[in-house]
Structure 1
Amino acid sequence: MITTDSDLPPRLGSLTFHGPLSEERATRMIERLAAAGPADVLDIGCGWGELLLRVLEAAPAAKGAGLDINAEDLARGRVLAEERGLADRVVFVEESALGTDRGPVDAVLCLGSSQALCDPELSHDPAAALRELRRLVRPGGRVVLGEGFWEHTPTEAELAGMWPGARTDDHVTLGALVDLAIEAGFRPAWIETASAVEWEEFESGYRYDTELWLAAHPDHPLAAETRERVDRQRASWLNGYRGVLGIAYLTLVAVA
């Protein structure tokens, strides 16, 4: 059987942002960032760059660069930039952010992507990521960091229900995360965390189009592997990290 793109399981079409982030919270973060009048904005692990594009709309003098290794997401970002008349002010680049020389800039976005700044051969290290973010931003510049933290230390049963190999040292507490930001050379201008509603909107939206596809294509050649993947993802949330893993959104100012 020959399959076409229209036959394949859809991917993330119902998500505006690739994370538990509401329109209202995004708007407030963008307003705070744009108020500083950035000339250049770097988005680490940008995906399709929705937040980056909105920052550029709010800061009309700024130019932006989005880095990611997913070509499909980057292509979506370029289409969005064209549709919004921003193609001449933003580039979407398929490259690793590890050790990037694209800084320093006035503003950095890094939402759920700090692992892109860490050695992939080592355990994720938020302290190392924060030091790298400080390197990439000018004194007085802003960083908007979206980073996971433990709402409480997970039990063995909760860890067993999460992603393969989940450990208590995969994340730190919110207080420890903010302390690491200060140690890296930032002041935490704003501290906020994703709500339960934002998590549910993201988790359901992440799978929504695929669930509809599975219901309509139960016998498709790709249905079995797609069903197994989606069921595993949902179970890891509902039986593992729901109410345990939080997402902090930190607006950080680089100390002069």
Structure 2
Amino acid sequence: MEPEFVEFRDGEQLAAWQDFQLSGMPDMISLMNLCHAIFALVDGGILDNLRAGKKSPDEGLLDGTVEKIGAGLLDYLVLRGVLERRADGFALTRKGELLTGEVPLARLGVYLESYGPVMSRLRELLTGEAVYGEDVQRNGGPLGKHSATMFSAFHTPVLVEAMRGRGVRTMLDIGCGGGSLLVDACKRDPGLTGIGLDIDADAIAEAQRLAAREGVDDRLEFVVGDAFAPQDWPAVCGTADGLCIVSALHELFRDGEQAVVDMLDAYRKALPEQKILLVGEPEIKYVPRDNDDDFYLVHVLTDQGIPRQRGEWLEVFGKTELECRRVYSRPGAGPPVCFYDLAPR
């Protein structure tokens, strides 16, 4: 005898479920979990195994994972359209290929890996139970790595063209991190040499290794120093005829506009014969599809000066001993960055 099936329905319950669906929350939950799943696919080594031709657990697709959990992750990603089942195992769909491209993974890494430790404690930062810089820190290593990927794809060509247009032969990159910007620039312009300066000795060591791996270490030198203390820079920095600072100067706005003006004037004095001081700064357009709102939020939470629009930057430059000769931008790149070509008045 088959059991009786009873289905309960009432207007209040159906209205509550409809409101939940109309709220968009189901999609938000799915996207949140999908982000973590894609990050695990990469960080757990499964993506590398797929790209190495391993299509099934028998071929080593789940090597390095807890196989039961790995198998469940694969099934989930099939449901989400990232993977597909084939006769010989699993493969990335076209959607999966796009989601796991260099730039999408770098954008995901910025928010999930670099700022994840901050976002996970948003409530505590909001209530004052935690203070950024003391109890909470962004993850600087991944931030440098992922930012380098995006800059190489979108912005380094602009920087190289700006330097070339002013006849620069030796570029000083202050706050160079792991050196990827200088290395990429030197690979694109065989006549360019450079000096990288960063306060983090570990980052400088990584920059030296990167330059050696990429075969440009004969044209690059990396030194330890504080980007915001030009009076203490190593003497070699004074040999540069061009200077760039990218996505860092806006942080001084937390100390007020005058702090930015003073630092720009200090840079002018540090290299009096400089052909160009190129300031690269993000410009938030507040376009949700470009994650501008997310970019804004992480700056609020990490006690950074909020990135300014170009008109606001031009007002700041007008209070310095420098003149802005040109503004470079590149539409369709993320995050959007303006490069300001400055020179002594």
TM over 0.5: yes
2: CA distance, partners of 1:148 / 1:32: 17
- The residue that corresponds to 2:279 in the other structure is 145
- Corresponding residue number in structure 2 for 1:179: 315
Report the equivalent of 2:197. Answer: 67
For structure 1, list consecutive stretches of 5 or more residues without a partner in the other structure: 1-8, 153-157, 200-246
Within the candidate set 226, 242, 262, 1:107 is matched to: 242
Q: Name the CA shift for 1:119/1:90 in 2 (closer, same or farther; >3 Å).
A: farther
Q: 1:67, CA displacement in angstroms?
A: 0.9
Give the corresponding residue for 2:338.
249
Equivalences for 1:72-91 in 2 at 5 Å?
72-91=202-221
- Output one character per residue of 1:31-80: Cα deviation in whole Å (capped at 9) or x when no partner: 23124332321111001122212333344444321111223322221111
* Alpha-carbon distance in 1 for matches of 2:298, 2:324: 36
Could you tell me which residue of structure 1 aligns to residue 267 of structure 2? Answer: 133
**Equivalences, count:** 194
TM-score, length of structure 1 as denominator length: 0.59
CA contact (8 A) 1:52 1:109 kept: no
State the TM-score, normalized to the length of structure 2: 0.45
Describe the shift of the 1:139–1:19 C-alpha distance in structure 2 as closer, same or farther (beyond 3 A): farther
What secondary structure sits across from 2:316 in the alignment?
helix
After superposition, the Cα gap between the structure-2 partners of 1:114 and 1:57, relative to the gap in structure 1 and judged at 3 Å, is: same
Aligned pair partner of 2:173 in 22, 43, 61 = 43
Task: Choose 1 or 2 for highest CA Rg.
Answer: 2
For each residue in 1:94-126, what CA deviation from the matched residue of structure 2 results, as whole angstroms up to 9, or x when unmatched?
Answer: 22131244336321120122278x699x45732
Per-residue CA distance 1:216-240 (angstroms, 9 max, x = gap)? xxxxxxxxxxxxxxxxxxxxxxxxx
Q: Is 1:33 paired with 2:154?
A: no
Report the residue type matching 1:249 in the other structure. Answer: C
Letter in 1 for 2:301: W
Cα gap change, 1:127/1:53 in structure 2, threshold over 3 Å: closer, same or farther? same
Q: Secondary structure at the match of 1:32?
A: helix
Amino acid at match of 2:246: L
Larger relative strand fraction? 1
Counterpart of 1:163?
A: 301
Contact 1:104 1:138 in 2 (8 A): no
Instruction: From the superposition, tell whether residues 53 and 170 of structure 1 become closer, same or farther in structure 2 (CA, over 3 Å).
Output: same
Match of 2:132 in 1: none
Change (3 A) 1:95 1:76: same
What is the rounded CA distance, in whole Å, between the counterparts of 2:144 and 2:174 in structure 1?
22
Unaligned runs of 5+ in 2: 1-112, 115-140, 287-295
Mapped partners of 2:299, 2:212: distance in 1:
42
Contact 1:53 1:81 in 2 (8 A): yes
Distance 1:161 1:32 in 2: 27
Aligned residue type for 1:50 = S
Higher RCO (CA < 8 A, seq sep 6+): 1
Aligned counterparts of 1:150 and 1:49: Cα–Cα separation in 2: 25
In the alignment, residue 90 of structure 1 is paired with which amino acid?
L
> Percent of counterpart pairs with the same letter?
19
Alpha-carbon RMSD across the aligned residues, in angstroms, is: 4.0
Runs of 4+ in structure 1 deviating by more than 6 angstroms, as ranges, are 158-161
* Kept after mapping to 2: 8 A contact 1:174/1:248: no
